[in-house]
Structure 1
Amino acid sequence: MANVRKLSQFPLPHLTNTNYENWSIHMKALLGSQDIWDIVERGYEEAREGDTLTVQQREVLRDKRKKDKKALYFIYQVVDELTFEKIAVATTSKKVWEILQNAYKRIEKVKKIRLQTLRGEFEALQIKESESISDFFTRVLTIVNQLRRNGETLDDKWVVKKILRFLDHKFDYVVVAIEESKDLDTMTVDELMDSLQDHEQRILKRRQEPLE
């Protein structure tokens, strides 16, 4: 129990809806360091009613029960209340682990399907003929934020380059100017939007000027 108290002083890997794969790797390492991963992975058999156990068998069984409770203690520490309700009915750490594995693998599968859909929507983006830069960026960033919430890692550099590819011919001049005068590796999405909105305002102003 001293080891448990010592480990409880350090941050434990808490399980969320988006980190099951990484969480399980951390937990396997943690439980393995306490010599209790085997009991979670393989489980153990309880004595059946009427079984007569030797002193040695009773000692082995007592040790396995102790390890199982220790494993349960660690798992209980790293799940939220809603998840705890799902696993509280399980009586062994092996059963708890299986419940979590099945539940979160389904979540991962749904997330992967969602990511594929969002990636397709993102690649199909194109500014509309009468669409403003502000409205276009709203559409782009809505999908970008959904991708990020589903676990996709997207930096501004990648998003900026994609947005430049989604623009139509009336922005060709400003795209070339941005690519030649700006460092796309450090340009933020907000900076790109400001540059495109400035160009958009100049286009609108020219259209509104009366012909002489």
Structure 2
Amino acid sequence: MAWDLLYGEYHGGDQVRSVKLQNLRREFEYARMRDDETLSGYLTRLNELINLMKTFGEVLSNARLVQKVLISLSKPYDPICLVIEDMKNIETVELQEILAILKSQE
């Protein structure tokens, strides 16, 4: 009974969950790395958002996550992203591999 009460409080009904998920989707789509933000800080912020979306039942493919990271980084990362896009198949490369490449270039 306590679990149901807590679940209802934090997840709400279907309509509340739908609205929360829609807001998280919007935040995900508009997320961009700020010029004064570190790569680690941005990736942490993006990962927290992704985890919240998954909590509400959203399924994000690895390819979508890779694309999001590559298109949302700040301008200094553009050359690195271009090299990654040329050398790797974005549809099949793992997100962790992309993150490792980016962190090694930081």
Same fold (TM over 0.5): yes
Larger deviation, residues 115-124 vs 184-193: 184-193
SS of the aligned residue for 2:13 comes to helix
> Does the alignment pair 1:168 with 2:68?
no
Counterpart selection for 2:14 from 88, 108, 112: 108
> Does the alignment pair 1:131 with 2:46?
no
Identical positions, percent = 29
**1:130 Cα deviation (Å)?**
2.3
Which ranges in structure 2 are unaligned for 5 or more consecutive residues? 5-11
> Does the alignment pair 1:143 with 2:34?
no
**1:167 Cα deviation (Å)?**
1.0
Counterpart selection for 2:98 from 174, 179, 192: 192
Q: Which amino acid aligns with 1:143?
A: L
Distance 2:68 2:42 in 1: 13
TM-score (norm 2): 0.84
Structure with the larger helix share = 2
Query: Structure 1 residue runs of 4+, over 2 Å off?
Result: none
TM-score (norm 1): 0.44
Tell me: higher relative CO, structure 1 or 2? Use CA pairs within 8 A at least 6 residues apart. Answer: 2
| Structure-2 residue corresponding to 1:119 | 25
> What do residues 17-63 of structure 1 show as CA deviations (whole Å, max 9, x unaligned)?
xxxxxxxxxxxxxxxxxxxxxxxxxxxxxxxxxxxxxxxxxxxxxxx
8 Å contact kept, 1:133–1:193? no
Distance 1:141 1:161 in 2: 14
Which ranges in structure 1 are unaligned for 5 or more consecutive residues? 1-81, 86-105, 201-212
Counterpart selection for 1:178 from 84, 91, 99: 84
The structure with the largest alpha-carbon Rg is: 1
| Structure-1 residue corresponding to 2:9 | none
Matched residues, number:
99
